[in-house]
Amino acid sequence: MTTLIPAWVDGELCAVDKLDVHLRGLLHKAVSVFVLCGDDVLIQQRALEKYHTPGLWANTCCTHPHWEETPPDCAHRRLDEELGIKGLTLEHRDHVTYRADVGGGLTEHEAVDIFVARVPDRVTLRPNLAEVMATDWLSLTDLSARVRAAPEHFTPWLQIYLADHAARIFGKV
């Protein structure tokens, strides 16, 4: 099954096959979400079946919007599809662009809308095992320390968010 996502081809936004986008390194729309509980952030370990960066730890969830899907709608859909989380209030925190090699001849070149949801208590999770093999709650300090100590265990985009955009995502760090 072909998944079409919004990507720029010759300066025009078009619906392009997701795998083709990553093979060609095209700039494309994306969404990333961070769920926070107090000082802790929910992270996920990507399933081994994922076609890139399998087994690596990432932010709460991230994805590509469907053609003509709004970023907030996409973020809500993916929280539910990946982790079984519904009904969170999302706050748009930033719009960033990055480019990263994700292995296997694939490139993420994303224009990302980043959202944060604050929850008073840790939410009940129902991970989709085809997407997520594990989850964890870590303080931002512990997460940053782990990424510095073993960056090979974390997705390139999570490393970029922490290194270059943490203050805009999490507030004062």
Catalogue the active-site residues. Answer: 62, 110
Give CA–CA dist 16/104, Å, rounded: 19
Neighbours of 56 (CB within 10 A): 21
**Residue 133, φ and ψ in degrees, nearest 5:** -100, -20
Instruction: With CA atoms as reference, report the closest residue to 100 among 53, 61, 157, 147.
Output: 157
**Beta-carbon contacts of residue 80 (< 8 Å; ≥ 6 apart):** 86
Residue type, position 121, single letter: D
